[in-house]
Amino acid sequence: MDKRSINLRIGIVLISLLFSMMIVSLFYTPFSVTEINREERFSPPSVRHLLGTDNFGRDVLSRIMKASQTAFFVGLVAVSIGTLFGVTIGAVSGYFGGIVDEIIMRFIDAMMAFPSILLALMFVSVFGVGLRNTIVAIGIMSIPSFARITRSGFVQYKELDYVRSAKVRGVSNLRIMLRHILPNVLSPIVVAASMGFSNAVLAEAALSYLGLGIQPPNPSWGRMLSESQVFITVSPWYAIAPGIFITLLVLGFNFLGDGIRDMREKRK
């Protein structure tokens, strides 16, 4: 077993586990996610409640399972936004070059220089909190890195012989970009997407922790962490569990990204 493919394997395993948990949660959770239960508040992990209960007596495991939907959803949509716009911008910039490229790249550089959480924070603070705006904010946050990667790929490939000959032959620019260049740039984009996913999960957690992301009663791991902080001395499991799951999901996608990158290295 190659050392290099270990990353890939670990990543896939982690992601599959969490993904399956998410799928299951769509149909079934051990307990209701919102029902209040006076008697069972703050109970420690037991056979009945594997991860204990929170301050409302709600089963922590069920809430974590439900929150995984949010994590995957936010990650998926945010990365999609980032990829779609980022790749388009980067492709146009890299392929056409010139003044357009200059202007776009300066803006991208400026955006990348700003701490991304700051941009996301300002966006959400100004346009409102909640699921939709959180996703948009994080999506916008991820555009620059996709743009950069795509652009350098396109810059690299557009000078190649077969691309030039296609141009001479009169193939349309759009077709060249999509058919000839893009497939080659795909691989680093996928790696970036994987990393982008984990960044999105972390960003959502941070925003929700600050109270600016997902709003109750929708469960979010980040929000659970901020709510549970008060009770850390009384019920530590409530404050620890969401953090572990965030870490696992992020690890999963990081390993996946590394694994894909390793495979690309190997093929070279």
Partner 1 sequence: MRKILLIIMLSIISLTSLLSQKIVVAVMQDPDFLDPHRAAASGTYEMMFNVFEGLLKPDSNGSVVPAVAESYHISEDGLTYTFTLRSGVKFHNGFEVTVDDVLYSLNRLKGNNQERGLSSDFEKFVSKIEAVDEKTIKVELSTLNTDFLEKFIIAIIPANNDNHEVNPIGTGPFKFVKYQPGQRLVIEKFDEYWNPELPIVDEVEFRIIPDNQAAIMSFMAGDVQILPRLDAIQAMVLGNRFNLITAEQNMVQLMAMNHAVSPFDDIRVRRAINHAVDKDEIIEIVAGGYGTKLGSNMSPIMSMYHQEGLEDYYETSLVRSRQLLSEAGYPDGFSTKITVPSNYQFHIDTAQIIVEQLKRVGIEAEIELVEWSVWLDKVYTSREYEMTIIGLTGKLSAYDILRRYVSDYPRNFYNYFNIEYDRVVKMAIEKTDIEEKASLFKQAQIILTEDAAAVYIMDPNFFVALAPNLFGYKVYPLYVQDMSTLYYR
Partner 2 sequence: MYVYLKKLFAMILTVLLVSLIAFVAFEVIPGNPALSRLGVDAEESQFEALSAELGLNDPLGERLSRWFKGLLTGDLGTSMRYSVPVSDLILDRIPVTLSLALMAMMFITLVGIPLGIVSAKYGHRLPDILISMISQIGMAIPSFWSGIILMYIFGIVLRWVSPGGYVPWSEDAVGAFKSLLLPAIAIALPSIASIIRYTRNSVMDQMKSDYVQLALSKGLNINSVLYKHVLKNSLIPIVTVLGMIAANILGGSIVIEQVFTLPGLGRLLINAISTRDLPLVQGMVLYIAFIIVIINFLIDIVYTVIDPRIRLGA
The residues of the shown chain that bind partner 2, judged by CB under 8 A, are 3, 102, 106-107, 109-118, 121-122, 125-128, 198, 202, 205-206, 209-210, 222, 225, 229, 232-233, 239-240, 243, 246-248, 250-251, 254-255
Least distance in angstroms from the C-beta of 251 to partner 1: 27
Q: Select from partner 1, partner 2, none the partner in contact with residue 116, using the beta carbon and a kind-dependent cut-off of 5 to 8 Å.
A: partner 2
H/E/C letters for each residue in the chain? Answer: CCHHHHHHHHHHHHHHHHHHHHHHHHHCCCCCCCCCCCCCCCCCCCCCCCCCECCCCCEHHHHHHHHHHHHHHHHHHHHHHHHHHHHHHHHHHHHHCHHHHHHHHHHHHHHHHCCHHHHHHHHHHHHCCCHHHHHHHHHHHHHHHHHHHHHHHHHHHHCCHHHHHHHHCCCCHHHHHHHHHHHHHHHHHHHHHHHHHHHHHHHHHHHHHCCCCCCCCCCCHHHHHHHHHHHCCCCHHHHHHHHHHHHHHHHHHHHHHHHHHHHHHHHC
Nearer to partner 1, 45 or 57 (CB): 57
Backbone angles phi, psi at 45, to 5 degrees: -55, 135
Q: Select from partner 1, partner 2, none the partner in contact with residue 227, using the beta carbon and a kind-dependent cut-off of 5 to 8 Å.
A: partner 1
Residue 59 bridge partners (DSSP): 53
Least distance in angstroms from the C-beta of 173 to partner 2: 26
Nearer to partner 2, 30 or 115 (CB): 115
Choose among 11, 18, 25, 72: nearest CA to 204: 72
Interface ranges with partner 1 (CB under 8 A): 34-36, 38, 41, 55-57, 125, 129-130, 211, 215-217, 227, 229-231, 233-234
Considering Cα of 22, then 74, then 132, then 222, what sign does the dihedral take?
Answer: positive
Nearer to partner 1, 114 or 127 (CB): 127
Least distance in angstroms from the C-beta of 83 to partner 1: 30
Nearer to partner 2, 58 or 261 (CB): 261
Least distance in angstroms from the C-beta of 126 to partner 2: 4
Q: Select from partner 1, partner 2, none the partner in contact with residue 239, using the beta carbon and a kind-dependent cut-off of 5 to 8 Å.
A: partner 2
Q: Select from partner 2, partner 1, none the partner in contact with residue 112, using the beta carbon and a kind-dependent cut-off of 5 to 8 Å.
A: partner 2
What gap in Å lies between CA 189 and CA 195, rounded to an integer? 10
Least distance in angstroms from the C-beta of 218 to partner 1: 9
Q: Select from partner 2, partner 1, none the partner in contact with residue 234, using the beta carbon and a kind-dependent cut-off of 5 to 8 Å.
A: partner 1
Least distance in angstroms from the C-beta of 85 to partner 2: 17
Least distance in angstroms from the C-beta of 13 to partner 2: 14
Nearer to partner 2, 35 or 109 (CB): 109
Q: Select from partner 1, partner 2, none the partner in contact with residue 24, using the beta carbon and a kind-dependent cut-off of 5 to 8 Å.
A: none
What gap in Å lies between CA 200 and CA 198, rounded to an integer? 5
What gap in Å lies between CA 14 and CA 76, rounded to an integer? 17
